[in-house]
Amino acid sequence: ARAWHLVRRPEGWPVPEDFALREIPLTAPAEGSVLVRNLHFSVDPYMRGRMNDAKSYVPPYRLDQPMDGGAVGEVVASAAEGFAVGDTVLHPLGWRDYAEVPAAQATKVDPSLAPLSAYLGVLGMVGLTAYAGLLEVGSFKPGDTVFVSGAAGAVGSQVGQIARLKGAARVVGSAGSAEKVRQLTEEYGFDAAFNYKDGPVAEQLKKAAPEGIDLYFDNVGGEHLEAALSSFNVFGRAVICGMISVYNTTEPTPAPRNLTQIIGKRLRLQGLLVSDHKALQPQFVQEVSAWIRSGELTYREQVYQGVENGVEAFLGMLRGENSGKALVTLG
């Protein structure tokens, strides 16, 4: 079997030389474990943080060890009660083609309800982030004007659609290319969208939401957060989900420079960790899968083929090559 290892901690932007695809031994599963042939594994922005040797809410990747992350696959050998050959499971040992997974870390998923890759995206951790972030952390209310950054990505595209379906007055998104801006308005039903590379975010946001915004779902940080603060109406709420614009920086970044706006506008900025919201999982799956079946919510996947393209998939996602969920499909 083969697994991606982190062999050097990246300085700034990761480069292919920071990683190595190495052979790992493939043995019969130990008592209480299953051997899984991975069918898809996920590449996610949070993994960049795990490549640093820094204390965080998830431990850093260890050098010269297989990296991990979300994956779905098929059980090919079982030494665990309740799991049979042919079962499909969601588990945390991605970045490799075969994984020995302790039964406690494997969750059976039903391939007849949704394509297996959906459990890594729209019906998985990413989808719950969008759902819980908007509705629980952001205290979304019908009639809100919602701004989403990173809007053509996995989380962002779902946030915008849930806001629309739940009765937002206006949904505005920003993304990094003309094609993504087109997808936002034509495929996901955003009311307005702009390319943040076309000019200052603050100016473009003021044009797209002339009456101001009530809720900002932040995937990007930096200049986007500063722009949102200046467009907020009173009692605005920011869901701080991610700050991808600073994940590869080596110097502290200056923006936002307008934090005093928090006072007069009585703003609330709240961080989000999806792991706090597991109790919402059944409600989330029920509601979102119904929207997918009815066609009211759509999603895209950016699929990279083969374990050997794992790092390229991850780097491509950081560069913004992906529309929707970036993942690696095997076999």
Which residue ranges make up the site for ligand NDP (CB under 6 A)?
44-46, 126, 129, 150, 152-156, 175-177, 180, 219-220, 241-242, 244-245, 272-274, 317, 320, 322, 326
For residue 109, give the nearest of 119, 99, 100, 98 by alpha carbon.
119
Which of 88, 322 has the CB closer to ligand NDP? Answer: 322
- What whole-number distance in Å separates Cα of residue 133 and Cα of residue 140? 9
Nearest distance from C-beta of residue 113 to ligand NDP, angstroms: 22
In angstroms, give the least distance from the CB of 182 to ligand NDP.
13
Instruction: State in angstroms the smallest separation of the CB of 320 from ligand NDP.
Output: 3
Return the structure tokens found at 88. Answer: 């499909």
Closest CA to 22 of 101, 77, 97, 92: 97
For residue 168, the one-letter residue type is: A
In the complex, minimum distance from the CB of residue 82 to ligand NDP, in angstroms, rounded to a whole number: 29
Q: In the complex with ligand NDP, which residue's Cβ is closer, 159 or 330?
A: 159
Q: How far apart are CA 201 and CA 109, in angstroms?
A: 41
Minimum distance, C-beta of residue 47 to ligand NDP, in the bound complex (Å) = 9
Q: Tell me whether residue 33 or residue 158 sits nearer to ligand NDP (CB atom).
A: 158
Cβ-proximal residues to 189 (8 Å cutoff; 6+ apart), any chain: 160, 161, 164, 171
SS3 for 182?
helix
Q: Which CB atom, from 3 or from 130, has the smaller least distance to ligand NDP?
A: 130
Q: Please, what is the minimum distance in Å from the beta carbon of residue 331 to ligand NDP? A: 23
In this structure, the number of other CB atoms found within 10 A of the CB of residue 271 comes to 13
Instruction: In whole angstroms, give the CA distance from residue 193 to residue 172.
Output: 5
Of 203 and 211, CB closest to ligand NDP: 203
261 C-beta neighbours (distance < 10 Å), count: 16
Cβ neighbours for 55, distance < 8 A, ≥ 6 positions apart: none
Q: How far is CA 178 from the centre of its chain?
A: 21
For ligand NDP, the closer of residues 68 and 87 by Cβ is 68
Q: Of 272, 241, 75, 62, whose CA–CA distance to 148 is shortest?
A: 241
What minimum distance in Å lies between the beta carbon of 230 and ligand NDP? 18
Choice between 163 and 272, CB closer to ligand NDP: 272
